[in-house]
Amino acid sequence: MRMIGNGRSAMTAIFGVDTAPYPTVRRIAEDCLSQDAFAKAHPKRQPRAPA
């Protein structure tokens, strides 16, 4: 999972969910976001996504 600014994960920033208590969920999200197809489908990369 990509870390941003103050060390929060991308999942926390996008969905407002702290994944720290859920290491399996965090690992799966990290694996997904490291794949190009998932990175391209990121909500912030979609047309008309808020900046």
Is 11 within the bounds of a domain? yes
pLDDT for 11: 64
Cβ-count burial of 45 within 10 angstroms (0-12 exposed, 13-18 middle, 19+ buried)?
exposed
What confidence tens digit (pLDDT) does each residue in 10-43 have?
666 667 778 788 888 888 877 887 888 988 887 7
10 backbone dihedrals φ, ψ, rounded to 5°: -60, -35
Structurally, the chain folds into a number of domains equal to 1
Burial of 50 (0-12, 13-18, 19+ CB in 10 A): exposed
Range of the domain at 23: 3-45
Say what the pLDDT of residue 44 is.
77
Nearest partner of 17 among 34, 31, 1, 32, judged by Cα: 1
Higher per-residue pLDDT: 4 or 35? 35
Q: Is residue 50 part of a domain?
A: no
